[in-house]
Amino acid sequence: MKAFGQNLWPLIAAGIALAACSQPAELSRLQYTPSGVVSNREAAPPRYSVLHSFGALPDGNAPGAGVTDRSGGIFYGTTTFGGAYSCGGYTCGTVFSLMADGTEKVLHSFGNGSDGANPQADLIDVGKTLYGTTSSGSYGYGAVFSVSTNGDERVIHTFGQGTDGRNPAAGLIEVQGTLYGTTQFGGAHNRGTVFSITPSGAERVLHSFGKGSDGSQPLARLIYVAGSFYGTTSKGGLYTCDRETCGTVFSVAANGAETVLHSFGHGTDGSNPGAGLVNVSGTLYGTTAGGGTLARGTVFGVTTAGKERVLHSFGKETDGGDPIAELIDVGGALYGTTAGGGAHAGGTIFSITTGGAERVLHSFGKGLDGSEPLARLSYKRGSLVGTTKHGGAFDHGTVFSLTPPQH
């Protein structure tokens, strides 16, 4: 199998073609306990349930992002497609809310004018307002938007102006009242940017990727550690993997000075990260979509000084493969998803220690439990909550919950 990383962009771009299919008008809430063999050797499997199946018109479909929890037990998220409006032959996506009991509501359908289209990123809650990005719409280049929990949406910046960035795939972070993010294209070299934007819409480019052996095409959100921003680029760097550059880990200072901490593709260290990083006690952990000893991706750790090590290489037996989601830290244990692999080839939920001990908690693709999880998980009241792009009652994706075993 070819390295998954070379196909990373076609999988998550806003222009992905979805096969048209009939969509029943009724939603269903499913409870599902996996019966397939998993590699964690628990006496009883973790408790897994589908909270919502996307796809009944005019519901959203194909979520590429995770969900954001707010007080009161309500989750908020986006779907890349679906909703009430059409954009270039495909539906334009939605913002939705989801109650703990599985009750879902579309708060906003994109594509009504210049409000953006096809969001791929999760939302961030700042001052009781949700902020996010769309990868297209608003004249084709994407937007930063705000939306209230009542569904009132406002575009605060439209990309594509001069050497501004274009087509953000990543969500935003907030640092001292300012929002920061990445775009996968645009900038001075058309290889993507790191940008800042105020809630009122004042935007500036901090760094343009693509000069020399710099990274290019960042797909993931940033993290902020001790005064600097850290992230990954899906391409660029010093090394080539299957005719494409292999990606980087980088830092950007508040003044825009950028440093490449690690270039992927040197040996079996992984390639083409599509996910951002998580900081655990001063070490940054992430995933690569390709590379590793079996060419199905890795979990890696890297220090802020640039020393990298591979914790786990995916692709062995019923292990997962092709991770493009960010990890989360729950009490020192890392949790994540793989888009492929597992016992039923629909992807997995896994846990891994910082020492590299990995186990599969759930294998997707059997029955109606969903398949191809692309986004980072959330953790609330002892359960992991996430989304799948496909599967469920209508094969248009799900929101799921999994209660992991205690460590």
User: What local confidence, expressed as pLDDT, does residue 349 receive?
Assistant: 98
Local structure of 86: helix, strand or coil:
strand
Assigned domain for 18 exists: no
pLDDT one-digit tens code per residue, 202-261? 999 999 999 888 999 999 999 999 999 999 999 999 999 988 999 999 999 999 999 999
Query: pLDDT for 13-38, tens place per residue?
Result: 433 332 333 333 333 333 333 333 33
Beta bridge partners of 29: none
Over the chain, what is the mean pLDDT?
89
Question: How far apart (Å, rounded) are the C-alpha atoms in residues 401 and 136?
Answer: 29
Question: Binning pLDDT at 50, 70 and 90, where does residue 127 land?
Answer: confident
**164, part of any domain:** yes
Q: Which domain holds residue 342?
A: 4-8+29-403
Lookup: tokens for 405? 């075993």
| 267 backbone φψ class: left, alpha, beta (φ>0; ψ -120 to 50) | left
Average pLDDT over residues 82-109: 94
Whether residue 138 lies inside any domain: the answer is yes
**Does residue 175 form part of some domain?**
yes
What's the mean pLDDT in 375-381? 94
Percent of the chain with pLDDT over 90: 78
Does residue 394 belong to any structural domain of this protein?
A: yes
Burial of 10 (0-12, 13-18, 19+ CB in 10 A): exposed
Question: What's the order of all strands across the beta sheet hosting 248-253?
Answer: 223-225, 228-233, 248-253, 258-263
The per-residue pLDDT for 231 is: 98
Q: What is the domain-level CATH number for residue 81?
A: 2.120.10.80
In a domain, 280, yes or no: yes
19 found inside a domain: no
379 domain residue, yes or no: yes
Residue 45 has pLDDT above 90, yes or no: no
Domain count within the chain: 1
Residue 42 near residue 352 (C-beta atoms within 8 A): no
